[in-house]
A and B are shown apart, each in its own frame.
Chain A
């Protein structure tokens, strides 16, 4: 007889629990080791596809003029993208899309749609709602839309050079748009959320801006000029009411900035501005006490400096007072005044007025002036009447404003005071000339317009008390100045009894017109252009 076998020994409950716990811990340990191994080696087959960052865009604050009228805003627009992995028939999709978007590169489109390794690819951004609807109606799988913020300029090309432009992602790349990115800030968004920031209020007035641009375009056509530029500036605050460069620039077409003719002539270019520089020369002489308006200067004969001969366009044949040097625009008289002052004082005065430096405004960089490499006697004499030193028109307009507003230096700005985008300026402005010198200069400017023999007489507009100075600078081509290729400019201020506005107009290579008696000098083209601008924009100015 066999005895019954003893029953199998059952593990204790505590042991079972411990075994299960160990199993769980072991499982997690294996997972942990796997994770560490994957992380360190990084050769796993797993691939994380991140496509969203490329769909990121930026919301920008609106740009408005000084009266709050809209200049630039973000509008919601559909953008078309494709998921090539979901495209059923690449040829069909490409053909149907090309029928609606005729300018699309079909070869590139086919290649993009055929690349099934990609899950997100933009096909066209910023579509109009009508085009988007037509594409939607095709019902092609693998195509979809995202709503995005696109920059819109409802005023077209108006103030295009000032406003600048943005990239396809709504980032500012030029002008005020770039200033917004750098100073005000933009918001990175996914989708079409509008910006919550306060609009950037410019000092521009779109009515004045249009009047200026329209008159410059008309003048360019009438005088068959290669281009034109103009500025209307507040002489006391430096706020720019209007600034234009012709040919215009469309902010919605950033590619136009590559065209040399469309380069901003107001801030980004420098010019030898000619006789309007005599205002600076005479201001220096008056302020230093080297001359008064009645001081007589011998201009009977041309001035010879080495091998250079400086002569007047219309020699007076008699000595002229400083007052007459200004109104008759005598090169010899201005050169003699500058030579008496010397090159050091001339440079110091130009530097004080900001004419020897570039700088920047909210609309971009102000071009560095082209200064003579050697500043000897000849250069001192030629700079006195605006040759040999090339400055940006904006810098010159600001210097003129500083001379005529009582003598306090101003810095040009495109953002209205009080807007958060504009930091508060210094409490006290630097004095560049005495109030007395400023008053004499204003009187000279006014005389040049009211005298029947004044070169600026065609700039007069009844009721505005305009004062001004003409400048006709020969343009250097291949190192030689040519008398038939000139830059005609006119700088004006009004009302002369208490200068509030400064206007500068420049015509690039104007040609004789029926009303200029065969002349191409500034008195015949730039001066009447300024008169038309002031007559038209004057009532709109604040």
Chain B
């Protein structure tokens, strides 16, 4: 009886040790994954900032204006804008 109990306790201890090792291993694996994801997030965040900077650089007026002029576009003149109350009235469809 005493021998059986000892063997059982040893077996339980063994199982616990294996389970603990598995949990530790899994934790380390998950930690590594979290770190990898964090690095990816940081890298992506950095890429977004760089892309925003690139967009701003490409959209700077100094570059866009000559391109727009080459396309035949020009700045609107004040006469193109008409106050709303000066717009010609149109009769809507009769109900």
Q: A: which residues have CB within 8 A of B? A: 69-71, 73-76, 152, 154-156, 158, 192-194, 206-207, 210-211, 214, 461-464, 535-536, 538-540
Contact = CB atoms under 8 A, between A and B. Distances in A.
A155 B46 contact: no
B46 A194 contact: yes
Contacts of A73: 49, 52-53, 56
B57 interface: yes
25 contacts: A69-B59, A70-B53, A71-B56, A73-B49, A73-B52, A73-B53, A73-B56, A75-B50, A154-B54, A154-B57, A154-B60, A155-B62, A156-B60, A194-B46, A194-B49, A207-B61, A210-B60, A210-B61, A463-B79, A535-B77, A536-B75, A538-B78, A539-B75, A539-B76, A539-B77
Q: In terms of DSSP, what is the predominant structure of the interface of chain A?
A: mixed
A155 B57 contact: yes
Q: In terms of DSSP, what is the predominant structure of the interface of chain B?
A: helix
Contacts of A463: 77-79
Interface string B33-49: 00000000010011001
Given A192-B46, A194-B45, A462-B78, A70 B56 contact: yes
A70 B52 contact: yes
Contact of A156 (B52, B62, B78): B62
Contacts of A210: 60-62, 65
A74 B45 CA distance: 12
Contacts of A214: 62
A535 B61 CA distance: 16
A539 B78 contact: yes
A54 B42 CA distance: 23
A462 B52 contact: no
Shortest Cβ-Cβ A-B pairs, 5 listed: A463-B78, A210-B61, A70-B56, A154-B57, A154-B56
Q: Which of B54, B56, B75, B79: most chain A CB closer than 10 A? A: B56
Contacts of A155: 56-57, 60, 62
Nearest to A537: B75
B10 to A, nearest CB: 32
A462 B78 CA distance: 8
Contacts of A75: 46, 49-50, 53
A208 to B, nearest CB: 9
Contacts of B65: 210
A193 to B, nearest CB: 8
A463 to B, nearest CB: 3
A126 B71 CA distance: 38
Given A210-B61, A461-B78, 6 more contacts: A71-B56, A73-B52, A152-B53, A154-B54, A155-B62, A539-B75
